[in-house]
Amino acid sequence: MIVDCGQYTADQMYFLLIQLVIPRPVAWVLSDNGNGTHNLAPFSFFNAITANPPILMISVGWKDDKLHKDTWVNIGERSHFVVHIPRGGQVHDVSNSSSVLPHGVSEIETFGIATESPEGWPLPRVTGAAVAFCCEKYAIYEIGRDPQGLILGKINRIWIDEEAVSRSNNRIVIDPAKIDPLARLGGNHYALLGEILTVKRPDKP
Ligand SMILES: Cc1cc2nc3c(=O)[nH]c(=O)nc-3n(C[C@H](O)[C@H](O)[C@H](O)COP(=O)(O)O)c2cc1C
């Protein structure tokens, strides 16, 4: 099948793309509502994009009522946010936290999701996720016709579950099975980490 993208609506393209670009990591993003509560929402248009400085990117859309999603508003106004890598076992909390609630109403309080305070950061992290990237807004770009908000976050601190960590030659080594990352597929489908393949890279000439 050849897909001529110009022949499809934005909705049709979105439906197709999220089934083809798989598996996607999930950024479970906690941001500051500015009223003493915290917003939590998942985003799978997500990746780390540079290491110097360390920057990650999430791509955030609009609510149906033509307002920016709360995550976009919060990061735009208050800068600090925390991106978690959720575990497979957190899939129902992840899905619940994607509910569209009025701005300022916390998914964390609404769905009883536990949080705790990481040392040296003004925002809490979600209990149980193995990784929490503590970020500050680096830039927000508006991309495309809708447009989508491409939010770049500079990672200042990373909390990692000690269980997943070892050290070798001055580097931090992570056991992916201990991270147990949740992956997003198309529709309402998710995946867990499957078999891990180890392949040696070709020698440099
Ligand atoms: C696993 C998962 C991944 C999602 N990925 C995205 C995404 O990349 N971009 C986006 O705009 N919405 C995405 N959504 C939808 C948002 O989570 C949803 O619109 C949420 O209500 C936004 O919350 P907020 O308004 O509190 O920021 C995703 C939903 C789920 C369940």
Q: Is residue 3 part of a domain?
A: no
Q: Is residue 8 in a domain?
A: no
- Tens place of pLDDT per residue across the chain (205 aa): 999 999 999 999 999 999 999 999 999 999 999 999 999 999 999 999 999 999 999 999 998 878 899 999 999 999 999 999 999 999 999 999 999 999 999 999 999 999 998 778 999 999 999 999 999 999 999 999 889 999 999 999 999 999 999 999 999 999 999 999 999 999 999 999 999 999 999 998 8
What per-residue confidence (pLDDT) applies to 119? 78
Q: Does residue 5 belong to any structural domain of this protein? A: no
Distance 51 CA to ligand 1 centre (A): 25
Residue with the two structure tokens 């992840």: 94
Q: What CATH number has the domain bearing residue 109?
A: 2.30.110.10
Asked if residues 32 and 78 have their Cβ atoms less than 8 Å apart, the reply is yes
Beta pairing class for 24-25 and 183-184: antiparallel
CA-closest residue to ligand 1 atom 19 = 98
Residue with CA closest to ligand 1 atom 28? 43
State the amino acid at position 110 in one-letter form. T
CA of residue 60 to ligand 1 center, whole Å? 7
Atom of ligand 1 at shortest range from CA of 40: 26
Cβ neighbours around 104 below 10 Å, total? 14
| HSE toward the beta carbon, residue 185, CA cutoff 13 A | 6
> Nearest 5°: CA angle at 99, between 94 and 100?
145
Q: Is residue 42 part of a domain?
A: yes
pTM of the entire predicted model? 0.97
Neighbours of 74 (CB within 10 A): 25
Q: If residue 125 lies in a helix (H) or strand (E), which one and from where to where? A: strand 125-126
On whether residue 200 sits in a domain, the answer given is no
Domain presence at residue 163? yes
The count of residues in the chain is 205
Return d(Cα 27, Cα 83) in angstroms, integer: 6
Total count of domains within the chain: 1
Any domain includes 199: no
Name all residues whose Cβ lies below 6 A of ligand 1: 26, 39, 41-45, 59-61, 69-71, 94-95, 98, 100, 184
Determine the structural domain holding residue 57 and report its residue range: 13-191
Residue 63 domain-assigned (yes or no): yes
Cα-Cα-Cα-Cα dihedral of 160, 49, 157, 70, to 10°? -100
- Residue 82 CA to ligand 1 center (angstroms) comes to 15
Backbone Cα Rg of the chain: 18
